[in-house]
Structure 1
């Protein structure tokens, strides 16, 4: 058993009984579990936990049920299209745009279970592990930890270890992984793959950069939410950053974003898997400089994600509003336009700032809905798969 990964990996199945007992004894966990399952006595939940012998059994017994409820109560349906994923038994690295802190990976795993497949291991930043029980819970739930606030040297060591862990997970455990294409969510929905994520992935494995990334079986994944419950919080953050040069989000802000994302209405939600990029990686010129190589691979992943967005009326309405045209009027009705503009007004009203700059905030919110369409349209010219 490789001890190098002990600090960051999900728990091994044989470790679960001990962790269950620690969670069951934690008053904060008891409180949350009782709030999520108010109809079930906590002792019954504890007994049910103790019967789960594997992480997947735990996920199916608890997380699946909770996430299905969120899908039922806060969306108009979650769908996953896997047609581009040729082999359902291989392990892949799903690299996706990032909309919701918890639900991007959560809904993906639920949809995979419904298709008779295994769930994914999830990369999660340690800045979100605010309480001890959360850190334990996510590691039971197949998450591995991305360490954040580190010195440059620590960051290099941490990235190398995480890369080796991910290669080990794909190659040796045959276990798929989900990772966001960038650190944190793209606040304006202009989704771009951070080259630092690819550099980290290329630290582990064998051979040159291309060989190491081919080993990861990268599947770009496009996630499309009709409505982003956190849109007004993201707009608010834009104004705070504009007005306060050294503005930093607090733990309380992270908690509010998680809570709003979980419980807010999302409309329709779609996950579209693009084809694996290995063939395109093979065609790249291996003699290119590292910066050029990473730049080309980032662009390749971006095109795959952008080309596979699902568009909703709001995307077209926002684009027309910002361009001052009726270019996409054929994609929505007058009723849909009124509904969307009313929605934007309602969200703007939720922003609590002493000096609300409404025109600025409105533009930022509309950009969040227009940018996916702008990026989608840009891919129509080079026709990726």
Structure 2
């Protein structure tokens, strides 16, 4: 796979050397020390870092493949999920069959946890985990790139600005995705659009679907769709740890016309997304697409229909919808009281109100929309009406 050298994940033969490089990366050890020992890292970092390096060296000793590394990390992932959620549920895994590679295309709310929850489900179902598409804007530090590529991530070059260079990057990405599924029999995870849906409005970008076809122009669009075994995935969080930051960004864009990220803002979002409270989480694996899709627009419409109708609505979504000025009074949206028990709804009302109380007044409309928009989208589609 020499042609994909610039974007591919690490292979098994590279694992020991990359692990050794990580263990000796001072920036990586600094972050680990602060994470593991938040109160002691500043005064005693000089002592804790060598101890942590020694412990890491023992932990990764003998790991010579990506699958061995994932097996080693699995208990840590389980504990992280247990601490940050009130439970994760899955449906649709019975749609997947062993020996088949899929293109998992999902809505996108969290930088790391979206693919992590898909990985978690597939891993515990006894199936190979997918290769994960990640933007190069998140790989500014060498150790982050090493970590992600060790975990089967491949790079999407988003920071390229030149038209010719961007076209070449998309062609390589398309060729890699097609090669991974068709030749390597390795599944792929990719978001339905570039960047997170900060306003809760999950829509498929048809440009991504067109990109899939760039690597196989000798066949029809419909045949490409069939060959890639596309599975729509709906990821639903009861609470978004980054909702306040998203509301602030939305408000700033709406009032000033632009928003510039502060240095390290993505790193903060990643950390908060991993460790922050999410309430309940549900992941729905839809049925693989099998219809005749003649172009990207038609496919995007069907992807939206599947992802949005499979989206699991929590009490927080309905409570937000009830007080949202963007709700559609002509839609037959059931009242929250008819969908949830009194105890469940009372607890949710308190948590939702606490969240709003912690949100500055000027951002509250944006906060409410994040949670309410999925209700509007789902019930419009269920009523057979267009999204817009």
Could you say which TM-score interval applies, normalised by the shorter chain? Answer: 0.7 to 0.9
Unaligned 5+ segments in structure 2 are: 38-47
Alignment of 1:50-65 (within 5 A): 50-62=61-73, 64-65=74-75
Give the stretch that moved more between structures: 160-169 or 23-32.
23-32
**Number of aligned pairs?**
365
Indicate the residue corresponding to 2:19 in structure 1: 20
Q: Structure 1 stretch 142-151 or stretch 26-35: which is displaced more?
A: 26-35
Which residue does 1:178 correspond to in 2?
A: 189
Counterpart of 2:44? none
Q: CA distance change for structure 1 residues 86 and 246 in 2, over 3 Å: closer, same or farther?
A: closer
Residue by residue over 1:226-274, the C-alpha shift from the partner in whole angstroms, topping out at 9 and shown as x without a partner, is 1111111111111111233332223422122112211211011111000
The residue aligned with 2:177 is 166
**TM-score, scaled relative to structure 1:** 0.88
Residue 76 (structure 2) pairs with residue 66 (structure 1): yes
- The 1-side partners of 2:367 and 2:78 are apart by 28
Q: Is the 8 A contact 1:344 1:365 kept in 2?
A: no
Q: Determine the structure 2 residue equivalent to 1:301.
A: 303
3-state DSSP of counterpart to 1:369: helix
Q: Distance in 2 between matches of 1:227 and 1:126?
A: 27
Rounded Cα–Cα distance in structure 1 between residues aligned with 2:227 and 2:143: 34
Please give the alpha-carbon distance, in whole angstroms, between the structure 1 residues aligned to 2:271 and 2:231. 29
Deviates further, 315-324 or 368-377: 315-324
Cα–Cα, structure 1 residues 313 and 350, in superposed 2: closer, same or farther, change >3 Å? closer
- Secondary structure of 2:80's partner? helix
* 8 A contact 2:9–2:153 mirrored in 1: yes
Change in CA separation of 1:246 and 1:373 when aligned onto 2, cut-off 3 Å: closer
Change in 2 beyond 3 A, CA 1:233/1:339: farther
Pairwise CA distance, 1:296: 1.0
Q: How many angstroms apart in 2 are the aligned matches of 1:308 and 1:297?
A: 17
Distance 1:294 1:327, change over 3 A: same
**Partner Cα separation in structure 1 for residue 65 and residue 31 of structure 2:** 22
Question: 1:363 aligned to 365, 368, 373, which one?
Answer: 365
SS in 1 for 2:281: strand
Mapped to 2, the partners of 1:264 and 1:120 lie a distance apart of: 24
Q: Give the aligned partner of residue 7 of structure 1.
A: 6
**1:77 aligned onto 2:79:** no
User: What is the DSSP-based 3-state SS (H/G/I as helix, E as strand, rest coil) of the residue aligned with 1:234?
Assistant: helix
User: Which residue in 2 is equivalent to 1:378?
Assistant: 380
The answer for unaligned runs of 5 or more in structure 1 is 287-292
More displaced, 147-156 or 6-15? Answer: 147-156
Note closer, same or farther for the CA distance 1:235–1:173 as it changes in structure 2 (3 Å cut): same
TM-score (norm 2): 0.87
Q: Indicate the residue corresponding to 2:316 in structure 1.
A: 314
